[in-house]
Amino acid sequence: MRRVVALIAGLICILFVFYTIRLLVVTAFLTRTRAGGGGAFVGAIAFPLLAFFFGWLAVRAWRGARPSAHAG
């Protein structure tokens, strides 16, 4: 079950990486935004954070829970 969660989180991570790259290309690295296009700046912050979070989640889920040194 953890591997399925890791796979889904990894795919979501890739999606947000794509969205980040696409946003930066379309807006020429945020130099050409339209009037009232403040959402581009929000996306430039939110998309990489979400990509990082889902990437971290995918790695943690793939590796699984490690046994504690104090367990036993």
Chain segment 3-60, per-residue pLDDT in tens? 999 999 999 999 999 999 999 999 999 999 888 889 999 999 999 999 999 999 999 9
**If DSSP codes are grouped into helix, strand and coil, which group holds residue 28?**
coil
- Of 68 and 39, more confident: 39
Kindly give, in sequence order, each residue whose CB lies less than 8 Å from that of residue 9, ignoring residues fewer than 6 positions away.
54, 55, 57, 58, 61
Q: What is the mean pLDDT of residues 58-63?
A: 94
Count helices and strands in the chain by DSSP H and E runs: 2, 0
Length of the chain: 72
pLDDT of residue 59: 95
pLDDT of residue 67: 62
Which ranges of 27-72 does DSSP label H, i.e. alpha helix?
Answer: 39-63
pLDDT of residue 27: 94
pTM assigned to the model: 0.83
Kindly give, in sequence order, each residue whose CB lies less than 8 Å from that of residue 12, ignoring residues fewer than 6 positions away.
50, 54
